[in-house]
C-alpha cells in the first residue's frame, strides 16, 4: 500500500481545490519544491503531482515548478495534467518523471494512451475522475458519457500501470474515500487501482489496510495532510504495519 502525498499546481503555487473547482482553491505553499522536500523528509516514498492549469489548457503550464520539484527530491514522482501527446510523455519521462497520468486523453484519444503504454511499460497511468458516476475530462470541466468501469475496461490489455480513481464529489472536502466504488472497480479489472478524493483521517488509512482493500495499490492524500488532520508519521507507520 502506497500513500501518495499530492501537490496540485495552480499558477506555480501548491493548492487544494474543492470538487475540482478552480474558483475554490486554497493556497497551502508558495514553494512547491519545498513542499515536496518536506513530504520526502516525512518518509513518503512516492509523490503525486497534478498541473491543474495544464489540465484545463490541454498542455503543460506549470513545467518550471515541476522541474524544481524533481531537483528537490529523490523519490519517484507521478505527474498528470495537460499531457495529451506522445511527445509530452517522452519529454516528462526524460526529465525524470517516473510515471505520467493520462486523463482526458483516455477518453478523447485512447489509441494514444495505448501507444504510450506500449512504448513505456509500467510508466503510464490512467486517471479516471468520476462525477455522478460518469468520467469527467478537461480539468473536470466536462462530463463524458462513459462510466469509470467502461473506460477502465478499454485499457485492460494495454499495459497501463495503474488506474487512479477519483470521486470528484468528495475531492478536497474531507468526506472520506469512496471505498465501495473504488474497491468495486479494483475487483472488476486486473489493472492496479489507486484511490483518490476525500481521504480525511487515519480512519481512512485504516480502511485501506483492511483485507477487502487488498487489491488497491494505494491512495492519494491532499488536504488532510496540509491542514493537519492526518499525521504523516502515524499514517506511514500504519501503512508499514508498525502501528499498534
Positions annotated as catalytic residues are 8, 129
Q: What's the rounded Cα separation, in Å, for the pair 93 and 118?
A: 14
First to last CA, the chain: 17
Name the 3-class secondary structure at 118: helix
**Residue by residue, what is the 3-state secondary structure of 67-109?**
HHHHHHCCCCEEEECCCCCHHHHHHHHHHCCCEEEECHHHHHC
For residue 31, the surrounding DSSP H or E stretch is none
Would you state the cell numbers that stand for residue 113, as one nine-digit string? Answer: 494512451
Q: What's the rounded Cα separation, in Å, for the pair 156 and 150?
A: 10
25 to each of 68, 121, 197, how far by Cα in Å? 22, 34, 15
Amino acid at each position: 500500500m502506497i500513500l501518495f502525498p499530492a501537490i496540485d499546481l495552480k499558477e506555480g503555487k501548491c493548492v487544494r481545490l474543492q470538487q475540482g473547482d478552480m474558483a475554490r482553491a486554497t493556497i497551502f505553499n508558495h514553494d512547491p519544491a519545498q513542499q515536496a522536500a518536506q513530504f520526502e523528509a516525512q518518509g513518503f516514498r512516492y509523490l503525486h503531482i497534478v498541473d491543474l492549469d495544464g489540465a484545463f489548457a490541454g498542455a503543460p503550464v506549470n513545467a518550471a515548478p515541476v522541474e524544481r520539484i524533481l531537483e528537490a527530491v529523490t523519490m519517484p514522482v507521478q505527474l498528470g495534467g495537460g499531457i495529451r501527446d506522445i511527445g509530452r510523455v517522452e519529454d516528462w519521462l526524460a526529465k525524470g518523471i517516473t510515471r505520467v497520468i493520462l486523463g482526458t486523453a483516455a477518453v478523447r484519444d485512447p489509441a494514444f494512451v495505448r501507444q504510450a503504454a506500449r512504448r513505456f511499460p509500467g510508466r503510464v497511468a490512467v486517471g479516471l475522475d468520476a462525477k455522478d458516476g460518469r468520467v469527467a475530462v478537461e480539468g473536470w470541466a466536462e462530463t463524458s458519457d462513459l462510466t469509470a468501469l467502461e473506460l477502465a475496461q478499454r485499457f485492460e490489455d494495454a499495459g497501463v500501470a495503474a488506474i487512479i480513481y477519483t470521486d470528484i464529489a468528495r475531492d478536497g472536502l474531507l468526506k472520506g474515500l469512496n471505498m465501495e466504488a473504488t474497491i468495486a472497480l479494483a475487483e472488476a479489472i486486473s489493472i492496479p487501482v489507486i484511490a483518490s478524493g476525500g481521504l480525511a483521517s487515519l480512519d481512512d488509512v485504516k480502511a485501506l489496510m483492511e483485507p477487502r482493500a487488498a487489491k488497491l495499490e494505494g491512495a492519494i492524500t491532499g488536504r488532510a495532510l496540509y491542514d493537519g488532520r492526518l499525521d504523516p508519521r502515524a499514517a506511514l507507520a500504519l501503512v508499514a504495519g508498525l502501528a499498534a
